Every structure is written in structure tokens, then in C-alpha cells.
């Protein structure tokens, strides 16, 4: 797996787990390969399975609106999921399904080298940090394996409950400042190495 286009092709043809038997389309992810921001959800839903594109249903429309509120478009970021195929009836992905998809996500992160990984929801957070509940972690920065993770509630939760929407909105407003701060820290580290 040398580049993101090759990874997308492998994901679309993947038969590593049983989700390949029930999917319509695998959903590798989309957006800028040079993005500073990577948004990672749990798994494709019904609309994503039909289109092969991540976050295109109601939650996706809300995500686009949140990005727009901080002057970003979907093409400015990279959006993907932990699991690349829709679990039947939108059930949670099983551990073995996550394990089979894990190398794809690991390679995507490695190649994109995002300044900030935004986990959308508890499943995405627990992939990176298994022992911290989303209610405690959301809106904080967590450093894991050399990456900075910013957990947020899933847009679908915000559609169900107004309080999550308000929290999500506030947390997205912090993203531009977080990127600036992280880039300054990175620049300082770069100058001390010379």
C-alpha cells in the first residue's frame, strides 16, 4: 500500500471479512490527501453504502454545515471511518471486522499525516483510546502514537439531542485555533532539532 489511491482501490475490492458479502459499496474515504484534518467515524450507514461516499446522509449534511461554519469544505479535510463497509442493519462493527479494516486506516493516517484527528463518536474514540468514555473525553486533546486526537460527539447524536448539537457546534469552533496552536508547537520542535 504505497499511496492513498491504491489503498482506496484495495478497500473497494476487499473481501477480508463478512461485511464484504452484504455491502453495496465499500467506502474508503474522501477529501484532501494533504489535509491537516482527518475526521474519522465508526462505519458507513445506508446512504454511504449506496453511494460509496462517507457521511452523505443526515449526519453528513450536519457535518458539512459544521465544517462550513469554520470556513472549511469537505474537500479541505479527509473523511473516513474505522470500518469501510456497512455493518448489516447499522449494528456496531465487530472486533474482527475492525481488525480486518485496521491496516487500511493505519496506512491512510500514515500517508496523510494529519495535524489533528477528529474522532466522531464513541466508537471512533475507543479505537484510539479504549478506556476513556466519550462523555469525559469530548472537546479535549489526546496525544496517542504521535498523533493529536480531538474527540467529539457523532453528528448523528447531535441530530437526536439538542444538547449534543450545541456541544458539537462549540467544539468545531475551536478547531481553527487548535490547528494554529499545534502547528506553532510543531514549528518550535522543528527549530529545536536543528
For 114-129, the pLDDT digits (tens) are: 999 999 999 999 999 9
User: How many C-beta neighbours within 10 Å does residue 156 have?
Assistant: 21
H-type helices in the chain, by residue range? 4-13, 19-22, 46-51, 58-68, 95-112, 122-128, 134-137, 155-160, 162-193
pLDDT at residue 193 tops 80: no
Which of the 8 DSSP states describes residue 55? Answer: S
Which of 76, 61, 83, 167 has its CA nearest to residue 116?
76
User: How many C-beta neighbours within 10 Å does residue 132 have?
Assistant: 16
Which of 88, 76, 75, 90 has its CA nearest to residue 41?
90
**pLDDT (0 to 100) of residue 194:** 43
Q: How confident is the model at residue 107 (pLDDT cuts 50, 70, 90)?
A: very high
User: DSSP letter string over 87-114?
Assistant: PGGGPPPPHHHHHHHHHHHHHHHHHH--
Pick the CATH number of 4-193 from 3.40.470.10, 3.90.420.10, 3.40.50.970, 3.40.50.150: 3.40.470.10
Average confidence (pLDDT) over 12-25: 96
**pLDDT (0 to 100) of residue 2:** 75
Please state the pTM of the whole predicted model.
0.93
The H or E element that residue 28 is part of is none
Average pLDDT of every residue of the chain: 93
Average confidence (pLDDT) over 53-77: 96
**pLDDT (0 to 100) of residue 192:** 47
Amino acid at each position: 500500500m504505497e499511496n492513498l489511491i491504491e489503498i482506496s482501490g484495495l478497500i473497494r475490492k476487499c473481501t477480508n471479512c463478512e461485511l464484504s458479502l452484504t455491502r453495496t459499496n465499500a467506502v474508503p474515504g474522501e477529501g484532501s490527501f494533504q489535509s491537516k484534518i482527518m475526521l474519522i467515524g465508526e462505519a458507513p450507514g445506508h446512504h454511504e453504502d449506496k453511494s460509496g461516499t462517507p457521511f452523505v446522509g443526515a449526519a453528513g449534511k450536519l457535518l458539512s454545515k459544521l465544517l462550513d461554519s469554520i470556513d472549511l469544505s469537505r474537500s479541505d479535510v479527509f473523511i473516513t471511518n474505522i470500518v469501510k463497509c456497512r455493518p448489516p442493519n447499522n449494528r456496531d462493527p465487530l472486533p474482527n471486522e475492525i481488525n480486518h479494516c485496521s491496516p487500511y486506516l493505519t496506512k491512510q493516517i500514515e500517508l496523510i499525516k494529519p495535524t489533528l484527528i477528529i474522532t466522531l463518536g464513541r466508537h471512533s474514540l475507543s479505537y484510539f483510546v479504549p478506556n476513556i468514555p466519550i462523555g469525559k473525553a469530548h472537546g479535549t486533546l489526546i496525544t496517542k502514537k504521535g498523533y493529536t486526537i480531538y474527540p467529539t460527539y457523532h453528528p448523528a447524536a447531535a441530530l437526536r439531542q439538542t444538547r449534543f448539537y450545541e456541544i458539537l457546534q462549540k467544539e468545531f469552533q475551536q478547531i481553527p485555533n487548535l490547528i494554529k496552536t499545534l502547528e506553532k508547537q510543531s514549528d518550535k520542535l522543528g527549530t529545536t532539532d536543528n
